[in-house]
Structure 1
Amino acid sequence: MTQQTSTQPTSENIKKLADLIKGVKFAMLTVQTAEGHLHAHPMTTQEVEFDGDIWFIGGKDTEQVAAMRAHPQVNVSYARPDKGVYVSVNGKANLIEDRAKLDELWSDMYKAYFPQGKEDPNIQLIHIAANGAEYWESDGKVRNLIQIAKGLVTGEHAHQGENETVKL
């Protein structure tokens, strides 16, 4: 993979990341526990355009929210293996109380987790202010296999796509 680093945040970087994570239903949110361990768990991706901020809805009584309260630095990972796309976003978690934002993000699917609906006192909005991201984008499974095979035969480095680190 071709590795590049972009040190200046740009609207192009944000648009690229937005395009890569669009349509990914679940993300893995990694937090640091009280013991210092890293713990990842799936979160439902919100249907909002990525602009450098990521939003989730969680439960106030969960270990993950407690961990973010104590250690706000987190990582959010997205994967679309069928497309050869992987994105890792690091940032700071903020626990927010905002009824208008909850109304914007709410879907009836959340009733499975919050039986009282939007009025459930356990609902916690989680805002991730992204610091930076890294993504890997390949040309697809078949092209990757061809590049790997070509590299094995020729002894040359296999070009498997694009890898870039961006500052947000």
Structure 2
Amino acid sequence: MKERQDDNPATPEEVTDRVWELADKIDICMLTTWNGEQQRSRPMSARPKRAENAFYFLTDVSGDKNAELEKFPTVSLAWADKGSYRFAVVSGQGTISNDRAKIAELWSDMDKVWWEDKDDPSIRLLTVTPERGEIWDTPGALVSGAKMLMAAVTGGAPELGDNAAVKM
């Protein structure tokens, strides 16, 4: 996918809007942390709150990611809407807290898969403050497939959509 370089590139505001929109729509993202030697990614249910400029996650008090975040707070979040070939990535700073009010606010019935209720003392709040966002928007699987086939026949490179990054 080539980066958008036309006369009317997406504005930083449009890219930022798209990052938040995709994060809200897709829900599950891959959270990537660093332990000093290697990266580790795991699926997490994101609770994006644009008005607060934060992505929230409920997490357990145990787990490697908590120790990793204390030592190396820079994380990446990646969302993929494979049905419409749209993708978003955010990098930022992550922190773990025991903010019981925010945990209660974010609690949903789906969280009962992991904990009995919002008052479970093992729940922690992971907050990611975004610093950079990037999107990839393509015209969808059918159009992308046709463009790739045409490129293979003609020997050219397919233009599969737009890519843009923004400081958040």
TM-score normalised according to structure 1 size: 0.87
| 1:134 equivalent in structure 2 | 134
1:81 aligned partner: 82
1:49 is displaced (CA, Å) by 4.2
Percent identity among equivalent residues? 25
1:20 deviation in Å? 2.1
C-alpha separation between the residues in 2 aligned to 1:71 and 1:32? 6
Letter in 1 for 2:148: I
Q: Is the 8 A contact 2:83 2:141 kept in 1?
A: yes
Over 4 Å off, 4+ runs: none
Q: How does 1:49-68 map to 2 (within 5 A)?
A: 49-51=49-51, 52-68=53-69
The 3 A distance-change label for structure 1 pair 40 and 114 is same
Tell me what 2:8 maps to: none
The answer for the alignment partner of 2:18 in structure 1 is 16
When residues 16 and 147 of structure 1 are mapped into structure 2, their CA distance, relative to the original with a 3 A threshold, is same
Aligned length: 162
Residue 107 of structure 1 corresponds to: 108
Query: Structure 2: where are the runs of 5+ without partners?
Result: 6-10
- Tell me the distance in 2 between the aligned counterparts of 1:4 and 1:111: 43
CA contact (8 A) 1:95 1:126 kept: yes
1:12-68 deviation per Cα after TM superposition (whole angstroms, max 9, x unaligned) = 3321112222321311101112x521000110122x444542110001111111211
**AA partner of residue 133 (structure 1):** G
Describe the shift of the 1:10–1:140 C-alpha distance in structure 2 as closer, same or farther (beyond 3 A): closer
Supply the distance in 2 between the matched residues of 1:59 and 1:135 (Cα, whole angstroms): 29
Distance 1:11 1:102 in 2: 29
Distance 1:113 1:38 in 2: 24
Q: What is the aligned counterpart of 1:25 among 24, 27, 35?
A: 27
